[in-house]
């Protein structure tokens, strides 16, 4: 994959990114795209859907159980800030191993259910105990990085969300249009 620089001054790596950049550039300049003239290359949209599905499957395979258990331990830890620093170190290790984007999404998924089964009083107390500045993390704080590392393509993989597609001529049900 090669880098190309457009006259707009934007760097892109794939046709799907180019389509997204051009769509944003057209609307950012105040030029509304006529509704009937917007067309998406079906092959590019399908490729982006496949990439999103692949990325999501990788994210689901990242094991965040250790971070989950560390957070649960912070609820009863004598020093909540030290326990929080252990969690942050685990986050750093996951991001080092899987890349910031994939690990970040996996961590957000884990945090969605983090306190579901915890005692609400303990969670409230923990939030109060964690107020203020967190402990600093330096080079040697978290120990050595994990020995295993994901391949380069995963470490730097960024999947962009698809723009909202206009209705297809083959759609059988009309979409509700926003009222003005």
Residues 27 and 108 in one domain: no
Instruction: Give the chain's domain count.
Output: 2
Residues 87 and 47 in one domain: no
Given this model, what pLDDT does residue 1 score? 40
Greater pLDDT, 163 or 60: 60
Question: pLDDT tens digit string along 32-85?
Answer: 445 555 567 788 888 888 888 888 888 999 999 999 999 999 999 999 999 999
**Which residues form the domain of 124?**
62-155
Residues 66 and 151 in one domain: yes
Concatenating the DSSP letter of every residue in the chain gives ---EE-TTS-EESSHHHHHHHHHHHHHHTT-PPPGGG----HHHHHHHHHHHHHHHHHHHHS--HHHHHHHHHHTT-SSHHHHHHHHHHHHHHHHHHH-HHHHHHHHHHHHHTTTTTS-HHHHHHHHHHT-SPPPP--TTTT-SPPS----HHHHT---PPPPPPPPPTT-SSPPPPPP-
Residue 111 forms part of a structural domain: yes
Residue 91 forms part of a structural domain: yes
Greater pLDDT, 162 or 66: 66
Given this model, what pLDDT does residue 16 score? 56
Question: pLDDT tens digit string along 113-150?
Answer: 999 989 999 999 999 999 988 888 888 899 998 888 88
Residue 168 forms part of a structural domain: no
Of the candidates 70, 84, 114, 97, the one whose C-alpha atom is nearest the C-alpha of residue 155 is 97
Residue 177 forms part of a structural domain: no
Report residue 110: phi and psi, to 5°. Answer: -65, -45
Residues 67 and 27 in one domain: no
Question: pLDDT tens digit string along 44-55?
Answer: 888 888 888 888
Residue 128 forms part of a structural domain: yes
Residue 3 has pLDDT above 50, yes or no: no
Report residue 66: phi and psi, to 5°. Answer: -65, -40
Residues 49 and 130 in one domain: no
Given this model, what pLDDT does residue 17 score? 58
Residue 167 has pLDDT above 60, yes or no: no
Given this model, what pLDDT does residue 131 score? 92
Percent of the chain at pLDDT > 90 equals 37
Residues 54 and 93 in one domain: no
Given this model, what pLDDT does residue 123 score? 93
Residue 4 has pLDDT above 50, yes or no: no
Residues 46 and 120 in one domain: no
Q: Residue 162, class by beta-carbon neighbours within 10 Å (0-12 exposed, 13-18 middle, 19+ buried)?
A: middle
Instruction: Tell me how far apart the alpha carbons of residues 105 and 38 are, in angstroms, rounded to a whole number.
Output: 31
Residues 122 and 50 in one domain: no
Residues 110 and 141 in one domain: yes
Residues 67 and 147 in one domain: yes
Residues 48 and 67 in one domain: no
Of the candidates 12, 146, 140, the one whose C-alpha atom is nearest the C-alpha of residue 90 is 146
Give the pTM.
Answer: 0.63
Given this model, what pLDDT does residue 162 score? 67
Given this model, what pLDDT does residue 63 score? 93
Instruction: Tell me how far apart the alpha carbons of residues 122 and 135 are, in angstroms, rounded to a whole number.
Output: 21
Given this model, what pLDDT does residue 15 score? 55
Residues 27 and 68 in one domain: no
């Amino acid at each position: 994959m090669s880098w190309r620089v457009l006259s707009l001054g934007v760097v892109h790596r794939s046709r799907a990114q180019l389509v997204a950049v051009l769509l944003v550039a057209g609307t950012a300049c105040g030029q509304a795209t006529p509704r009937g003239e917007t067309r998406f290359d079906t092959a590019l949209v399908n490729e982006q859907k496949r990439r999103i599905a692949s990325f999501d499957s990788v994210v689901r395979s990242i094991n965040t159980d250790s971070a989950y258990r560390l957070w649960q331990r912070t609820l009863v830890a004598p020093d909540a800030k030290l326990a929080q620093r252990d969690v942050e170190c685990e986050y750093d290790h996951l991001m080092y191993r899987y890349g910031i984007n994939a690990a970040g999404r996996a961590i957000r998924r884990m945090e969605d259910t983090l306190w579901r089964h915890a005692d609400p009083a303990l969670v409230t107390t923990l939030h109060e105990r964690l107020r203020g500045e967190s402990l600093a993390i330096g080079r040697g704080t978290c120990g050595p990085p994990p020995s295993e590392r994901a391949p380069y393509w995963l470490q730097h993989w960024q999947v962009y969300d698809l723009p909202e597609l206009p209705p297809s001529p083959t759609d059988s049900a009309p979409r509700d249009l926003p009222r003005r």
